[in-house]
Structure 1
């Protein structure tokens, strides 16, 4: 009985959280196994930096501006860690693994669309509760993130 209450307070069973667990786990596994152009040191630094960016974005969009809620609106639940730390960090590592190929623009567009679709699906599953925010508002953010911010972060780490 006690542990069921603990698990409930941690938000483990939030509506639609199963999707973010599956996607986050797959992305983390892929980022650990198929990255050949990212060293282990770069992997850890990127994971930490992007995870920090994601958590700060969570605080700004979800708590300061109150544009949306995830799961149950409480900071620091387990699904939030998957959504704002593990998922974005693993996605960034997969994106940057082959960034310097001739297909940069295609990769930026692909990962932007992928991120948009994940956000859209989480909204449809009821995990994200939008309060005046529409998923299409995120598209310029994703393009900026994958086109400028993440490549700059990798350059910063490699210097």
Structure 2
């Protein structure tokens, strides 16, 4: 069981540390623009899409590996479960019509720095993936997908 956690993967400490810090912040931050219902739905939906992305990009297309490519360890689990979901909840908590593009810029930078850090410590190894794919994807998620999700969550019908 310990072997399957992939605890000895190079750079494993970074996604574990970042994931836990972001998750704890998302849990305990003062809720301004979202409530617990929004938190719950966003966390689940973003986590689901992150795992679909891992399945397609990491497993089927083999564009990226986290830790040991043959094991889905704790670092990869946190990378796809806690980090994107926590960032999304935090983003939506501060999102207003007046600060949308500032937050898109800030969270795109944060997401890019997290990806860069995981590459730098050796935890994330790429096979055809690049920042030229990641950055536009982050911009689309933060500028379009997450605001749309919030509208859908708030919709009464």
The answer to whether the 8 A contact 2:15-2:79 is kept is yes
Match of 1:64 in 2: 60
Match of residue 118, structure 1, among 85, 105, 114: 114
RMSD: 1.2
Match of 1:37 in 2: 33
Q: How far has the Cα of 1:137 moved from its partner?
A: 2.2
Query: Counterparts of 1:14 and 1:85 in 2: how far apart (Å)?
Result: 18
Query: Counterparts of 2:68 and 2:82 in 1: how far apart (Å)?
Result: 19
1:53 maps to 2:49: yes
The answer to whether the 8 A contact 2:42-2:85 is kept is yes
User: Is there any run of 5+ residues in structure 1 with no aligned partner, and where?
Assistant: 1-5
Query: Counterparts of 2:105 and 2:113 in 1: how far apart (Å)?
Result: 12
CA deviations on 1:27-68 (whole Å, 9 max, x unpaired) are: 001111113321111111111000001111111110111111
- Normalised to the residue count of structure 2, the TM-score between the two structures is 0.93
1:22 maps to 2:17: yes
Determine helix, strand or coil for the equivalent of 2:62. coil
Q: How far has the Cα of 1:74 moved from its partner?
A: 3.0
User: Is there any run of 5+ residues in structure 2 with no aligned partner, and where?
Assistant: none
- Normalised to the residue count of structure 1, the TM-score between the two structures is 0.92
Determine helix, strand or coil for the equivalent of 2:65. strand
Query: Counterparts of 1:65 and 1:72 in 2: how far apart (Å)?
Result: 16
**Which 4+ runs in 1 deviate beyond 4 A?**
none
